Structure formats: C-alpha cells, structure tokens
Amino acid sequence: MNTPNEVTVEVAYALADEQLIIPIKVEDGTTAEEAIIASGIMTKFPEIDLSINKVGIFGKLTKLDTKLRHLDRVEIYRTLIADPKEVRKQRAADGKIMKKGGGDLAV
C-alpha cells in the first residue's frame, strides 16, 4: 500500500527480443528522470543514455523533468536504426522497378 506521499509508477524499456517493465514506488512529485534512475533499469540496459534516448508516458513524448502521477508508465525509447521516411522511399522505388518488368511475377 502506498503512503500518502507515495505513488506507484512503471519504468519500461524494450529491445526487439526482450522487454522489461519495472513497477516502483516513488515520492509524489518525482520526475520521469528520477524514476528511471530509481528503477535501476539503466544497470540492466547500459546502452540507455538519457541525453540521447527519448522518453514518454503511455506513448506520448515527454520531458525528463515531467512530474509523474500515480500509475504512470515511463517508457524509454530506443534510437531508430533506419529513418522511416527513407525506408518508405526505398520500398516505393523498389516497387517502381518491379512494375517495369524487373520482377519474377507471372502475367
């Protein structure tokens, strides 16, 4: 049970093949950054760098100094390996090549 000045929050981080959600109790008024540090998640995932990784609460980007509310889930986002816009452009370009007869489709 929480004391009057305590809230329960979760800190989450996921890789392609692994995810970890850590529920912790923190003082009311704790920031997202303070909760991340208190969770110990950066020990398990040393690649997390709060000066690089973006964070959010329930899928919405937020700042590290955002004060948390009871039952918030702080999510640490990985950096993108590829730019989604470039990937879409490449897929579109590949599709155009296929339509011009460069594919193996039987007609």
Q: Residue 62: which CATH number?
A: 3.10.20.30
Q: What is the CA radius of gyration of the chain?
A: 20
Whether pLDDT at 44 is above 60? yes
Residue 93: inside a domain, yes or no?
no
Containing structural domain, residue 29: 6-80
pLDDT at 71: 97
Residue 25: inside a domain, yes or no?
yes
Residue 95: inside a domain, yes or no?
no
pLDDT at 96: 57
Residue 107: inside a domain, yes or no?
no
Which pLDDT band holds residue 88 (cuts at 50, 70, 90)?
A: confident
In 10 A of CB 12, how many CB atoms? Answer: 20
Contacts of 21 (CB under 8 A, 6+ apart): 10, 11, 12, 73
Question: pTM here?
Answer: 0.73
Residue 85: inside a domain, yes or no?
no
Report, as an integer, the average pLDDT of 39-51. 95
Residue 48: inside a domain, yes or no?
yes
Whether pLDDT at 98 is above 60? no
Structural domain count, the chain: 1
